[in-house]
Structure 1
C-alpha cells in the first residue's frame, strides 16, 4: 500500500431472495418450480385464484413453499414472516 493511502471497507448486502439450497427449506426451489408447488399448496382451498397469486408471489421471493396444503409454514421462515400492511400473513 502506498504511504498516505487509506483502506476502504465496503459492505455488501445479501440478495433479496435466498440462494438455491438443494437440501430443502428456504432457497430450495428454482423460480420455474414455483407454479407446480403452489398448484399443490392451493389445491384444497375454495379460494384458489388468490391463493395461487399470493403463493407464487411468496415463492418467487423466498424460493420455498411449505409442504402440504395447509400449515407447515415453519419450514420457510421468509414465507411465514411476510405480512400484509394489516399484519396478517401474506403467504397462504
Structure 2
C-alpha cells in the first residue's frame, strides 16, 4: 500500500474535520440558540403534529429554558439534554 504524501494527508484530515464540524453545527446543542430564535425553531419542530398549539407552547417554554430545540419534527432529543430531561410531575417528557 502506498504511503500518503503530506498534501494528501492534510487534505484527508481537512475533509474529515470539516464533515464532523458540519454535523455538529447542524445538530445545534445545548445553549446553541438565542432566545429570539426559539419561535422559528419550535415552528419547524411542531410543523408535523396535529396538536400544534400545545406543541408550540411547550416547545417555546423548553427552548426559553434550554436555548436548544432538537433537529427534525420528532425525536433527536439526545441533542439537547436539558430539553430531553425536563419531565412533568408524572415523569413524562415535558418538551415535545
Do these two structures clear the TM 0.5 threshold for a shared fold by scoring above it? yes
The answer to whether structure 1 residue 31 and structure 2 residue 18 are counterparts is: no
Q: Distance in 2 between matches of 1:62 and 1:72?
A: 15
Return the offset for 1:42.
0.1
> Structure 2-normalised TM-score?
0.72
User: What is the aligned partner in structure 1 of residue 63 from structure 2?
Assistant: 59
- Which consecutive unaligned segments of at least 5 residues does structure 1 have? 1-22
User: What is the aligned partner in structure 2 of residue 74 from structure 1?
Assistant: 78
The answer to whether structure 1 residue 41 and structure 2 residue 45 are counterparts is: yes
User: What is the aligned partner in structure 1 of residue 91 from structure 2?
Assistant: 87
Q: Distance in 2 between matches of 1:31 and 1:60?
A: 6
**Would you tell me which structure has more helix in proportion to its own residues?**
2
Q: Distance in 2 between matches of 1:26 and 1:57?
A: 15
Tell me the number of residue pairs that the alignment of Structure 1 and Structure 2 aligns: 70
- Bigger mean CA deviation after superposition, 52-61 or 23-32: 23-32
- Which consecutive unaligned segments of at least 5 residues does structure 2 have? 1-24
Return the offset for 1:66.
0.1
